[in-house]
C-alpha cells in the first residue's frame, strides 16, 4: 500500500476509535466546550440533542485535528484562542482557531492594568521627583506622604 494511503488509513483509525472510548474529534469538541465553561452532562442524557450538538462541531474539530496534527496541539491552540478571546470579552468558536492559526505564537491575553488610588483619587508616579502624587477632584496634584500600604491598586477595564 502506498505511504499516503497507509497514513490516511491509520489516521482514520486513530480518529474513530470505538468501544466506549472518546474519539479524537469528541475530545477536541469536549475540550472546546470545557474552555467555554459549558457542560454536556445534561445533554448526555438526551442522545438526540447530543448528536445534534456534536454534529455542529464535528467538521471544524476534524479540520483542526488535521491542521494541528495531534489532539494535544489542537487543545493547546484552543486554549490560546480561548485565553485571548476571554481577556477581550470576545466570543469564539473552533473556527476562530483557524483564523488565528498563523498568529498563535503572538496571541496573548490582554494585559490587566492596575492603577493606584488613594482615598478614591487616582495617583501618578513622578519620575523626576521620585514621588507619588494624588490627583484631587479639583485636578490639583498633591504630594503623597502616606505609607505604601495605603495605596489601593484597582483593575481598570478599558472602554
What pLDDT, on a 0 to 100 scale, did the predictor assign at position 108?
A: 87
Q: Are residues 102 and 73 in the same domain?
A: yes
Q: Are residues 55 and 99 in the same domain?
A: yes
Pick the last residue of a domain from 67, 90, 106. Answer: 106
Q: Are residues 34 and 102 in the same domain?
A: yes
The pTM for the full model equals 0.61
Query: Does residue 124 have a pLDDT over 60?
Result: yes
Average pLDDT (19-45) is: 80
Q: Are residues 130 and 95 in the same domain?
A: no
For residues 143 and 126, is the Cβ–Cβ distance under 8 A? no
Give the single-character DSSP code of 148: G
Average pLDDT (76-85) is: 95
- 3 state DSSP class of 34: helix
**Average pLDDT score over the chain:** 82
Query: Does residue 122 have a pLDDT over 70?
Result: yes
Residue-wise pLDDT tens digits, 52-75: 777 889 999 999 999 999 999 999
User: Greater confidence, 157 or 88?
Assistant: 88
**Which domain range does residue 135 map to?**
113-156
What pLDDT, on a 0 to 100 scale, did the predictor assign at position 143?
A: 92
Q: Are residues 101 and 123 in the same domain?
A: no
Nearest Cα to Cα of residue 145 among 114, 107, 119: 119
Task: Give the list of residues 6+ apart from residue 60 with CB closer than 8 angstroms, or none.
Answer: 93, 94, 95, 98
Measure the CA–CA gap between 10 and 137, rounded to whole angstroms: 70
Q: Are residues 27 and 85 in the same domain?
A: yes
What pLDDT, on a 0 to 100 scale, did the predictor assign at position 112?
A: 77
Amino acid at each position: 500500500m502506498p505511504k499516503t494511503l497507509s497514513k490516511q488509513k491509520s489516521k482514520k483509525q486513530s480518529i474513530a476509535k470505538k468501544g466506549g472510548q472518546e474519539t479524537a474529534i469528541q475530545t477536541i469538541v469536549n475540550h472546546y466546550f470545557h474552555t467555554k465553561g459549558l457542560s454536556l452532562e445534561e445533554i448526555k442524557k438526551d442522545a438526540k440533542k447530543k448528536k445534534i450538538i456534536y454534529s455542529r462541531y464535528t467538521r471544524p474539530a476534524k479540520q483542526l485535528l488535521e491542521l494541528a496534527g495531534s489532539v494535544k496541539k489542537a487543545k493547546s491552540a484552543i486554549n490560546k484562542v480561548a485565553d485571548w478571546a476571554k481577556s477581550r470579552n470576545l466570543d469564539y468558536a473552533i473556527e476562530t482557531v483557524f483564523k488565528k492559526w498563523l498568529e498563535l505564537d503572538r496571541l496573548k491575553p490582554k494585559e490587566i492594568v492596575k492603577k493606584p488610588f488613594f482615598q478614591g483619587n487616582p495617583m501618578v508616579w513622578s519620575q523626576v521627583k521620585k514621588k507619588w502624587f494624588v490627583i484631587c477632584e479639583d485636578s490639583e496634584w498633591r504630594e503623597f506622604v502616606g505609607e505604601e500600604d495605603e495605596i489601593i491598586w484597582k483593575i481598570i477595564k478599558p472602554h
